[in-house]
């Protein structure tokens, strides 16, 4: 059975898959009324230099099958029509007027903003073809925008931008019209070393685009595989680690992974990132699951980095439970530990009934058998559904304080199926295998 690879993202109908600098968002598709993931990207054409002519959007309902279209073209911006400097962008839906605002980079010089009534565009310049961040508005480069929307702790929106090639990252408050910055609100967003010494660190970790996201009560700022944490969205941040340290680097020391974006959807965290090829000017977008340890460490899976999300092969040695595409009913992802050390992740149900979904399970044989690596309380039950129909069931006959393997024969046809695991009672599922 051939392994199906869904990284890098491959949109239907696109001439190639050279789409870098992904920013991922969840919006309602106006054509279907259902939530889709939207990925806002540029397009690399040059091997020896950056040639980027327009901005694109990719979207998918299942994160396996992708569509693509041009969302913003140069003639609808203040940039020259012959420009090849259509660098990174970000898109948000305004909490004030409900429209979609796309913030786009003119190389490393300045930043514009465009608007649309739809998440997939077409977008048109929103400021009479003038930049929202003109060159020189702060001492850093005015490019690579990341938008931070209001939440329960702060009613304001911010635009984060810049590069530690010059003067690090800066942020400014956005006006509620989303097309103006508030004068006098510019502030540097510092990153300090792990020991907390108030000495700015970023100058020794050269990169550009930063992404800020919130996990629980902790704010993360990410750039080029590296990340830092803070209790405040605008810092100061404390350097934590590099989730790209095991991934190859370019000759100049930069990691193959660069611009990245994070979000939670249906109880799962996702990480989209530019992944290098043979040259740093010819990149692609990859999508992975993100896992967070109890101490805040971010972790990825090599299997999913290679294969992509939302699909599963029955010839894998095991399918980790935390690779689900959705959970409900109180199920949650947890870190496993052995002798106080990290030992992977699992999903757990303390009481009641919850479900975890694993769509697109390929190459199932007729009447397959599923083996589950579980522990829990006597009477805890696991029901297996294929395409919504019950295909098998088992339960723990005694308390299991250590993991045991439970094998369930299934009633199924051969081929591809969507699998749901329904857990009831107190149970922890580490992984499962189908064969």
CB 331 within 8 A of CB 355: yes
Mean pLDDT across the stretch 279-304? 92
Q: How far apart are CA 38 and CA 296, in angstroms?
A: 27
Residues 106, 100, 6, CA angle at the centre, nearest 5°?
75
H/E element, 113:
strand 110-116
Q: How far apart are CA 94 and CA 178, in angstroms?
A: 7
Which domains are delineated in the chain? 23-307 (2.115.10.20), 312-434 (2.60.120.260)
Q: How far apart are CA 331 and CA 334, in angstroms?
A: 10
Q: Is the pLDDT of residue 203 over 70?
A: no
- Conformation bin of residue 21: beta by default, left when phi > 0, alpha when psi is -120 to 50: left
DSSP codes of every residue in 304-339: HHHH-SS-EETTSS-EEGGG-S-B-TT-EEEEEEET
Q: Which residue has the higher pLDDT, 138 or 204?
A: 138
Mean pLDDT across the stretch 105-134? 96
**What pLDDT score was predicted for residue 252?**
58
Q: Is the pLDDT of residue 271 over 90?
A: yes
Q: How far apart are CA 252 and CA 427, in angstroms?
A: 48
Q: How far apart are CA 336 and CA 347, in angstroms?
A: 10
**What pLDDT score was predicted for residue 253?**
57
Q: How far apart are CA 165 and CA 74, in angstroms?
A: 26
Assign 166 a pLDDT band (cuts: 50, 70, 90): confident
CB 110 within 8 A of CB 121: no
CB 428 within 8 A of CB 374: yes
Residue 90, class by beta-carbon neighbours within 10 Å (0-12 exposed, 13-18 middle, 19+ buried)?
buried
DSSP type of residue 250: -
Q: How far apart are CA 78 and CA 390, in angstroms?
A: 57
134-157 pLDDT, tens digit per residue, is 999 999 999 999 999 999 999 999
**Which string of b and e fits 165-178 if b means at least 16 CB within 10 Å?**
eebbbbbbbbbeeb
* Nearest one of 299, 283, 280 to 291, comparing CA atoms: 299
13-60 pLDDT, tens digit per residue, is 899 999 999 999 999 999 999 999 999 999 999 888 899 999 999 999
DSSP type of residue 413: -
Q: How far apart are CA 70 and CA 58, in angstroms?
A: 9
Mean pLDDT across the stretch 384-408? 95
Mean pLDDT across the stretch 391-400? 93
Structure pTM? Answer: 0.96
List CB contacts of 347: < 8 A, sequence separation 6 or more: 321, 322, 324, 327, 331, 332, 333, 334, 356, 423, 428, 429
216-258 pLDDT, tens digit per residue, is 999 999 998 889 999 999 999 999 998 877 776 666 555 667 8
**What pLDDT score was predicted for residue 202?**
67
Mean pLDDT across the stretch 186-191? 94
Q: Is the pLDDT of residue 296 over 80?
A: yes
**What pLDDT score was predicted for residue 282?**
85
């Amino acid at each position: 059975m051939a392994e199906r690879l869904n990284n890098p993202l491959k949109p239907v109908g696109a001439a190639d898959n050279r789409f870098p600098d992904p920013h991922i968002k969840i919006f309602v598709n106006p054509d279907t009324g259902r939530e889709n993931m939207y990925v806002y990207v540029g397009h690399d054409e040059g091997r020896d230099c950056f040639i980027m002519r327009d901005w694109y959007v990719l979207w998918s309902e299942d994160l396996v099958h992708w569509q693509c279209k041009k969302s913003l073209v140069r003639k609808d911006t203040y940039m020259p029509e012959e420009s090849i400097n259509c660098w990174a962008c970000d898109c948000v839906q305004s909490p004030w007027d409900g429209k979609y605002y796309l913030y786009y980079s003119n190389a490393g010089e300045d930043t514009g903003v465009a608007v649309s009534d739809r998440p997939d565009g077409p977008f048109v310049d929103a400021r009479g073809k003038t930049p929202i961040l003109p060159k020189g508005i702060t001492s850093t480069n005015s490019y690579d925008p990341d938008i931070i929307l209001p939440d329960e702790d702060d009613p304001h929106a911010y635009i984060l931008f810049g590069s530690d090639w010059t003067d690090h990252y800066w942020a400014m408050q956005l006006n509620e019209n989303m097309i103006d910055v508030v004068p006098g609100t510019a502030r540097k967003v510092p990153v300090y070393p792990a020991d907390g010494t108030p000495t700015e660190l970023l100058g020794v970790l050269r990169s550009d685009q930063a992404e800020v996201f919130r996990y629980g009560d902790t704010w993360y700022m990410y750039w080029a595989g590296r990340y830092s944490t803070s209790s405040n969205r605008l810092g100061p941040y404390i350097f934590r680690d590099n989730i790209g340290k095991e991934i190859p680097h370019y000759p100049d020391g930069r990691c193959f992974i660069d611009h990245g974006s994070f979000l939670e959807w249906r109880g799962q965290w996702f990480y989209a990132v530019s992944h290098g090829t043979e040259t740093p000017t010819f990149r692609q977008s990859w999508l992975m699951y993100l896992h967070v340890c109890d101490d805040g460490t971010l972790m990825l899976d090599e299997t999913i980095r290679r294969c992509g999300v939302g699909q599963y092969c029955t010839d894998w040695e095991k399918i980790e439970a935390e690779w689900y595409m959705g959970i409900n009913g109180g199920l949650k992802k947890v870190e496993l530990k052995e002798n106080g050390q990290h030992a992977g992740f699992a999903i757990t149900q303390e009481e009641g009934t919850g479900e975890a979904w694993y769509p697109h399970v390929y190459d199932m044989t007729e009447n397959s058998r599923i083996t589950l690596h579980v522990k829990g309380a006597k009477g805890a039950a696991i029901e297996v559904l294929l395409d919504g129909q019950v295909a098998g069931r088992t339960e723990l006959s005694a308390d299991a304080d250590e993991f045991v393997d439970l094998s369930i024969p299934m009633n199924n046809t051969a081929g591809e199926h969507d699998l749901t695991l329904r857990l009831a009672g107190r149970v922890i599922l580490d992984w499962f295998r189908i064969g």
